[in-house]
Amino acid sequence: MERSAGILLPIFSLPSAYGIGSLGREAREFANFLHRAGQRWWQILPVGPTGAGDSPYTSVSTFAGNAFFIDLDTLAQRGLLTEQELASARVPQGGRIDYAALYEGREALLRKAFERIDPAEAEAARLFREQTPWLREYALYRAIKARFGGAAWYDWPDEALRRHEPAALERQKAELAEDIAFHTWVQYCFFTQWESLKAYVNGLGIRIIGDLPIYVSLDSADVWSERKEFFLDGRGMPGKVAGVPPDYFCADGQLWGNPLYDWKAMKQDGFGWWIRRVEGAARLFDAIRLDHFRAFASYWAVPAGAKTAREGAWEQGPGMDLLGVLTSWFPQITYIAEDLGILTEDVHRLRKDSGLPGMKVLEFAFSGPDNAYLPHQYPDSRCICYTGTHDNDTAAGWYASATPQEKAYARKYLGVERDDAQTVCRALLRAGQGSIAELFVAQMQDYLGLGSEARVNVPGVPRGNWSWRMEPGKTTDALADAIRDLTHTFGRC
């Protein structure tokens, strides 16, 4: 990875007239902004259908695309939606995402579009499903789930379906053929639009960094159809679940509740599930951030039914057995290790053995001169410097809530005299650009100088996250030129 810079902005945070960012015109306009600003990377968050808490990290599929991201204007231009139907979906720009309204109305709108596709498109979608094994399972899962009122697969009243028995599945395929065809077309539509957008972005010399969540949801097509890959009992329920111990984000730790992998079984078949998973991600992204990298070394396992993550314990992860397979199977992929959290010697050793660049977060840096996140402490350029990630506050919000000691040291280190969040935010961006890290990434909110009102996620808080939207008109030529000037000054253009 050459010396360069990028901006973190989730797809859902793009401006849009329809309540959530999409793969349409505004995404291309943001890519144009990145190009003018001299940025060579656009980092986004997972793009799968969201699950509990509207989180992209609790998806019902590790492979599928989020139907909310399908651009409605593109469908209308193809004659699949009317102007009146578009008008019914419009909401005021700049407000936070109303996921409840999207769940209530977006599928009905897409079904209207689906009813108008011609036979050629229906056949193309069908062929796409036949050539895409995960889609055959996912479309069936979504159709059965709808039949049972949205219940999780482990609560379906038919035991044979819960157990994914072939005879029971064949009956559902026949009875739910129309619903299966709809969910197939939605994914065909998503991937068609995605490939068009990615070609446009790449054509500008910009590459996309995507995120691969470490775990998948219990209620997902992945667990339902491939239970052998996970530690589950005879009913398909986990005895232990994922989380993290108490840390700087949450005093009780974070109880995520995802099922844990059966690493021994995965290793025996050559980690085929992970190979397929990364193959799917490589179709979407040019670089992949491996979420919660420390779990590949050792992970926090919490007894199912525990009230907090405090009751967990460390267990051995797959280490280089898995990472060696992934890096050898996909040498063309740039990987980033999200080596944050409680880091032990085995995590540092695994990152060095794998050769993957780790992450340095400036918002964590200002406890004193020995802090490893300070730019002068970076041992070499093989790392990615961030102002903050999606789990952090914005730079201005971080400074406003920092301790007096952190503020004082940050001002001293950054050469800032004024006790002012905006001034410190600009200095933080300059420090990141000037660091030796091979890549510097800032949240778009930091270039806009926004405070905590624009924070994307507060870890450990189950509601109210993932809903910030950038207001239209913010990606001005003047801002792009200012970012380019800063980027060029430090040799990142």
Q: Is 338 noted as a catalytic residue in this protein?
A: yes
The torsion angle over the Cα atoms of residues 333, 339, 344 and 348, rounded to 10 degrees, is 40
Q: Is 286 noted as a catalytic residue in this protein?
A: no
Q: Is 170 noted as a catalytic residue in this protein?
A: no
Which SS3 state, helix, strand or coil, does residue 71 take?
A: coil
Helices marked H in 231-356? 263-268, 272-284, 294-297, 320-329, 345-354
Compute the distance between CA of residue 356 and CA of residue 229 in angstroms, rounded to an integer. 25
C-alpha dihedral sign at 346, 248, 443, 10: positive
CA–CA distances in Å: residue 465 to residues 22, 46, 53, 149, 391: 18, 14, 8, 25, 10
Which SS3 state, helix, strand or coil, does residue 443 take?
A: strand
User: 73, 121, 226, 391: which one is catalytic?
Assistant: 391
Asked if 303 and 240 count as a contact pair (C-beta separation under 8 A), the reply is yes
4's enclosing H/E stretch is: strand 4-8
Compute the distance between CA of residue 20 and CA of residue 49 in angstroms, rounded to an integer. 13
User: 291, 363, 393, 406: which one is catalytic?
Assistant: 291
User: 219, 338, 339, 406: which one is catalytic?
Assistant: 338
Compute the distance between CA of residue 208 and CA of residue 40 in angstroms, rounded to an integer. 9
The torsion angle over the Cα atoms of residues 336, 342, 345 and 351, rounded to 10 degrees, is 0
Compute the distance between CA of residue 482 and CA of residue 493 in angstroms, rounded to an integer. 13
- Catalytic site positions: 291, 338, 391
